[in-house]
């Protein structure tokens, strides 16, 4: 780590210096300044440069240009952000500045909050929703416990859709590309009653063949088949009352995300493989079957005949805003329902080691936020509010273990001593959360503003949980449950008795305040600096990934993060350059760490444990417009993140180890040049390069649970016919066809590592029309 920060700052200095030098040539020309960016990070519209928070904002145009399809694509645009996926359309694990939890189970709310039009998504089931007709995305870095509440210790990602207007609006696009990619999007609306009622309708269809093949039956894997639609109404009965309603729904119906099952045994030399040998893909075999995967990443055999993931989403949002002379009152009511059904082959081989897995999960939530804010201006600006959330989550997951070793494949078989069994895990979790909050900004002088905020949260989770075992099914009937009744109880109300008992009942409570104190000093109209101290919390809970033992269902205490941050925001050279800097230190206590590991008798255990960590780092974000038509973006995140206290009962003490999924260095560099071809047409050339250093997927910090440093280059070009609103856009993503490990789980007790790779090179054309 000692050499990383000088190197990072050296790179940043070169980039900033080069851009600033170029900009000095044009600093007297005021005709092409950077636009003002308005964000609502503090629950009111503000210039991003006046917000004493590190915020990365992406406009709708930037999202279109970059081809952002879902939340995972943001990792190439926002340094410090990691979004990993073990599933095609659901349950991502999100990390921001090293803060997150590597828990892919539906009951995990994560440590980085996700909101859509100010409605907080409590469950991760629907967090990989489809992105279309988006106005902007705001990534708030650092704990946001005052205005956003619990489960935002890492930060918040706010998605804002385009709202209805009283002016006619129509846009449409069609994209065709590699793997028969066909994306269709359309949106339009306008006034139904002038100045009183407006409507907007949006729709998206995304289809693409898979880039991998199931060599058992020839079916595509990693395909895309998504549908979504959105209806929004805007009603203004008076000048100071605005009522808006948004109803949207969608479906993602694809194959489960394909992966490589990397073996652990060197057959030639008769020994366990080294980590580097395992990562070589085609050297090591699964010791239980002798299966060696192909080095071809598009060659992925699976014995599951019906391999799929389907996610259905329905949501409704009602917003009522009263905008008076002295105060404004805002009410946001949200309803969100997600249903996921998944069938997958965990070992991704022709053998039945861990297969026949079925996930059937439904999350349903309602929420209400009521805010009252000052509206008269002056030195004091304040907001107070209350928040309520109720969510019910139902989950049924079936696993088949070691069916390959059934001595009579025509009959069901049960051998719990050797873990040859069919397991059914069922739980229901109900979450109720209440909170009250207040925040005030006071202008001490024309240059100095102080901020103070506090929130009190009362959170309760009730969980009923049971895991039971059946015989494995016969080969001829592998899609069916072998018997009507389970044979033994694994995790139930009396787990030390193999008899079938009732559900385990647990309750977890959170009653804690969180706060924020900040000072913002404006040196002049273009340069300001801020300092802040913020506390965030994440609610405790129990590990719903438990399968075999009651110890897996362990509870964890709420985590707490104290953040100390300083930053500078500046518009330089007559607003041709925007340079923002931040440095921070996190004291991270009782952080929740999820892991897959093996106990001494070879069983796979999922564990959720508390640990402590220290995180500190620095970030640079730079935008420049040195020439007419030329835009340059640069972002850099340098991070030190390690456990200070983590004593795992099986694997030992991990103090001093690097945090999971946390690269030391992340960088994003983009440029776009637009120029006139004729009086009626302009062309553009653009590109984005992203880089991240090595990451580990486990606190062990050893190969093979790692991904080496890698970069990706995306390029695009096109032409716009100015008088017609038509644009033709060509793109290539992952130009060099760089392949790397995007996520990984340790299932070595079953003879393999579960490994996800990034997508290969794709390319295509987009035809777009805007009124």
Q: What is the DSSP string of 412-429?
A: -B-BGGGTBEEEEEEEEE
Q: What is the pLDDT of residue 31?
A: 58
Mean pLDDT value across residues 325-331: 95
Q: What is the pLDDT of residue 408?
A: 86
> Distance between CA 3 and CA 640 in Å, rounded?
12
Range with lowest mean pLDDT among 188-197, 403-412, 477-486: 477-486
DSSP per position, 235-286 = EEEETTEEEEEEEEEEEEEEPPPP-EEEE-EETTTTEEPPHHHHHTSSS-B-
> Distance between CA 107 and CA 545 in Å, rounded?
9
Mean pLDDT value across residues 689-714: 95
> Distance between CA 645 and CA 643 in Å, rounded?
6
Q: Is the pLDDT of residue 539 over 80?
A: yes
Bridge partners (DSSP) of residue 488 are 469
Q: Is the pLDDT of residue 306 over 50?
A: yes
Check: CB of residue 165 under 8 Å from CB of residue 178. Answer: no
Q: Which residues of 676-687 are buried (b: 16+ CB within 10 A; e: fewer)?
A: eeeeeebbbebb
Mean pLDDT value across residues 304-310: 84
- Residue 90 to residues 50, 138, 154, 357, 543: CA-CA distances in angstroms? 35, 21, 20, 16, 19
> Distance between CA 309 and CA 225 in Å, rounded?
10
Q: What is the pLDDT of residue 7?
A: 41
Range with lowest mean pLDDT among 140-144, 172-176, 410-414, 488-492: 410-414
16: pLDDT confidence band, cut at 50, 70 and 90? very low
Domain boundaries, the chain: 4-259+300-770
The dihedral region occupied by 362, where left means phi > 0, alpha psi between -120 and 50, and beta the remainder, is beta
29: pLDDT confidence band, cut at 50, 70 and 90? very low
CATH no., domain 4-259+300-770: 2.40.170.20
Q: What is the pLDDT of residue 1?
A: 41
> Distance between CA 599 and CA 597 in Å, rounded?
7
601: pLDDT confidence band, cut at 50, 70 and 90? low
Bridge partners (DSSP) of residue 532 are 518, 565
600: pLDDT confidence band, cut at 50, 70 and 90? low
602: pLDDT confidence band, cut at 50, 70 and 90? low
Tens of pLDDT, residue by residue over 60-97, are 988 988 888 888 889 999 999 999 888 888 888 899 99
Q: Is the pLDDT of residue 509 over 50?
A: yes
Take residue 5 and report the two structure tokens written for it.
Answer: 């920060």
22: pLDDT confidence band, cut at 50, 70 and 90? very low
Q: Is the pLDDT of residue 245 over 60?
A: yes
Mean pLDDT value across residues 140-153: 93
Q: What is the pLDDT of residue 760?
A: 96
Q: For tokens 């005030």, name the residue.
A: 440
Q: What are phi and psi of 310, to 5 degrees?
A: -125, 130
Q: What is the mean pLDDT of the chain?
A: 90
Q: What is the pLDDT of residue 599?
A: 62
Q: What is the pLDDT of residue 480?
A: 65
Q: Is the pLDDT of residue 362 over 90?
A: yes
Q: What are phi and psi of 276, to 5 degrees?
A: -65, -35
Mean pLDDT value across residues 472-498: 80
Mean pLDDT value across residues 727-751: 94
Mean pLDDT value across residues 345-361: 87
Q: Is the pLDDT of residue 354 over 90?
A: no
Q: What is the pLDDT of residue 390?
A: 98
Q: What percent of the chain has pLDDT over 90?
A: 72
Q: What is the pLDDT of residue 164?
A: 97
The model carries a pTM of: 0.92
Q: Is the pLDDT of residue 53 over 60?
A: yes
> Distance between CA 476 and CA 711 in Å, rounded?
46
Mean pLDDT value across residues 568-595: 95
485: pLDDT confidence band, cut at 50, 70 and 90? confident
Q: Is the pLDDT of residue 174 over 90?
A: yes
């Amino acid at each position: 780590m000692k050499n990383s920060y000088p190197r990072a700052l050296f790179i940043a200095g070169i980039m900033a210096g080069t851009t600033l030098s170029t900009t000095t040539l044009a600093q007297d020309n005021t005709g092409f300044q950077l636009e003002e960016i308005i964000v609502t990070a503090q629950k009111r519209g503000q210039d991003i440069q006046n917000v004493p928070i590190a915020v990365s904002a992406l406009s709708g145009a930037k999202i279109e240009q970059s081809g952002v399809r879902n939340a995972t694509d943001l990792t190439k645009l926002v340094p410090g952000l990691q979004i990993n996926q073990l599933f095609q359309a659901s349950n991502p694990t999100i990390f921001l500045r090293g803060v997150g939890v590597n828990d892919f189970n539906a009951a995990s709310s994560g440590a980085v909050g996700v909101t859509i039009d100010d409605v907080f998504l409590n469950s991760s089931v629907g967090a990989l929703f489809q992105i279309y007709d988006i106005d902007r995305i705001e990534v708030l870095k650092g704990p946001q416990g005052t205005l956003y509440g619990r489960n935002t210790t890492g930060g918040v990602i706010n998605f804002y859709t385009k709202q209805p207007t009283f002016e006619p609006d129509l846009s449409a696009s069609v994209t065709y590309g590699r793997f028969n990619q066909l994306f269709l999007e359309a949106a339009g609306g306008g006034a139904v009653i002038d100045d009183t009622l407006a409507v907007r309708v949006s729709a998206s269809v995304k289809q693409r063949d898979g880039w991998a093949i199931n060599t058992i039956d020839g079916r595509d894997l990693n395909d895309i088949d998504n549908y979504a639609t959105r209806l929004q109404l805007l009603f203004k009965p008076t000048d100071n009352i605005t009522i808006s309603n948004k109803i949207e729904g969608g479906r993602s119906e694809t194959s489960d995300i394909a992966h490589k099952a990397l073996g652990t045994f060197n057959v030639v030399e008769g020994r366990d493989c080294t980590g580097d040998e395992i990562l070589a893909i085609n050297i090591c075999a699964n010791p239980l079957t002798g299966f060696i995967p192909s080095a071809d990443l598009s060659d992925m055999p699976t014995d599951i005949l019906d391999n799929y993931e389907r996610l259905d989403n329905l949501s409704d949002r009602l917003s009522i805003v009263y905008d008076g002379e002295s105060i404004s009152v805002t009410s946001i009511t949200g309803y969100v329902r997600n249903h996921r059904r998944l069938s997958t082959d965990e070992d991704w081989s022709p053998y039945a080691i861990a297969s026949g897995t079925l996930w059937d999960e439904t999350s349903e939530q309602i929420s209400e936020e009521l805010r009252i804010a000052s509206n008269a201006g002056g030195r004091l600006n304040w907001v107070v509010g209350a928040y309520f959330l109720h969510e019910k989550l139902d989950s049924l997951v079936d696993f088949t273990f070691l069916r390959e070793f059934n001595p009579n494949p025509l009959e069901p078989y049960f051998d719990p001593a050797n873990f040859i069994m069919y397991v059914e895990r069922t739980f229901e979790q109900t979450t109720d959360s209440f909170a009250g909050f207040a925040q005030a900004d006071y202008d001490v002088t024309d240059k100095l503003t102080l901020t103070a905020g506090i929130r009190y949260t009362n959170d309760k989770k009730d969980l009923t949980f049971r895991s039971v075992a059946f015989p494995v099914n016969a080969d001829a009937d592998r899609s069916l449950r072998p018997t009507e009744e389970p044979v033994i109880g694994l995790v139930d109300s009396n787990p030390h008795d193999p008899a079938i008992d009732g559900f385990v009942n647990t309750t977890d409570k959170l009653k804690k305040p969180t706060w924020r104190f900040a000072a913002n000093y404006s040196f002049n109209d273009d340069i300001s600096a801020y300092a802040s101290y913020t506390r965030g919390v994440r609610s405790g809970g129990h590990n719903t990934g438990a399968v075999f033992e009651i110890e897996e269902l362990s509870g964890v205490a709420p985590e707490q993060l104290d953040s100390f941050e300083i930053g500078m925001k500046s518009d330089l050279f007559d607003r041709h350059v925007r340079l923002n800097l931040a440095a921070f230190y996190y004291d991270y206590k009782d952080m929740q760490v999820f892991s897959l590991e093996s106990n001494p008798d070879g069983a796979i255990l999922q564990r959720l444990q508390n640990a402590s960590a220290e995180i500190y780092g620095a970030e640079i974000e730079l935008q420049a417009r040195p020439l007419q038509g030329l835009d340059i973006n640069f972002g850099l995140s340098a991070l030190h993140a390690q456990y200070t206290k983590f004593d795992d009962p099986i694997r030992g003490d991990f103090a001093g180890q690097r945090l999971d999924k946390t690269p030391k260095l992340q960088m994003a560099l983009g440029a776009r040049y637009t120029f006139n071809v004729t009086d009626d047409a302009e062309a553009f050339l653009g590109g984005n390069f992203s880089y991240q250093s090595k990451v580990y997927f486990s606190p062990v910090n050893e190969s093979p649970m790692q991904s080496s440093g890698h970069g990706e280059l995306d390029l695009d070009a096109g032409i716009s016919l100015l008088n017609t609103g038509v644009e033709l856009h060509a793109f290539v993503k992952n130009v060099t066809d760089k392949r790397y490990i995007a996520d990984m789980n340790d299932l070595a007790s079953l003879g393999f590592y579960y490994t996800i790779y990034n997508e290969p090179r794709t390319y295509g054309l987009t035809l777009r029309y805007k009124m």
